[in-house]
Amino acid sequence: MNWYLEAFKKYAVFSGRSRRKEFWMFFLFNLIASIILSVIDGALGIQLLSLIYALATLIPNLAISVRRLHDTGRSGWWILIGLIPLVGFIVLLVFYCTEGDQAQNEHGPNPKLAGAY
């Protein structure tokens, strides 16, 4: 849960680096919350809660994705490759699963070695 809250503390921080663990834990909690809200919305017959949650997490989701790309030594603009159907998803998935640079890169020090988390 701390990883999820950490992403919200850096709500719109697009600089720096994020570890794989931070990214995937945010993704997992985000997925679980989305499923729960969708079930509640389905029971109520509305789609309001899911929409509000999706809008509330849009910027943190983009920010942590960009920081994750920074950790692998790539520019945050690589996130735009996700606009290409299927191919973009696969490329981003590979980038997100790739281990980050062990040394400091142009986006900052290695968060794993810095003891940031």
Tell me the residue type at 86.
L
Instruction: Say if CB 96 and CB 20 are below 8 A apart.
Output: yes
State residue 6's pLDDT score.
85
The pLDDT value given to residue 1: 76
> For 78-98, what is each residue's pLDDT tens digit?
999 999 999 999 999 999 999
**What residues contact residue 112 under an 8 Å CB cut-off, 6+ apart?**
19, 100
Kindly tell me the sign of the dihedral angle through the C-alpha atoms of 90, 96, 98, 104: positive
DSSP 103: S
What CA–CA distance (Å, rounded) separates 34 from 49? 9
Q: Which residues pair with 105 in a beta bridge?
A: 108
Report for 5-9, 29-33, 105-109: range of highest mean pLDDT: 29-33
Query: How confident is the model over 35-50, as pLDDT tens digits?
Result: 999 999 999 999 999 9
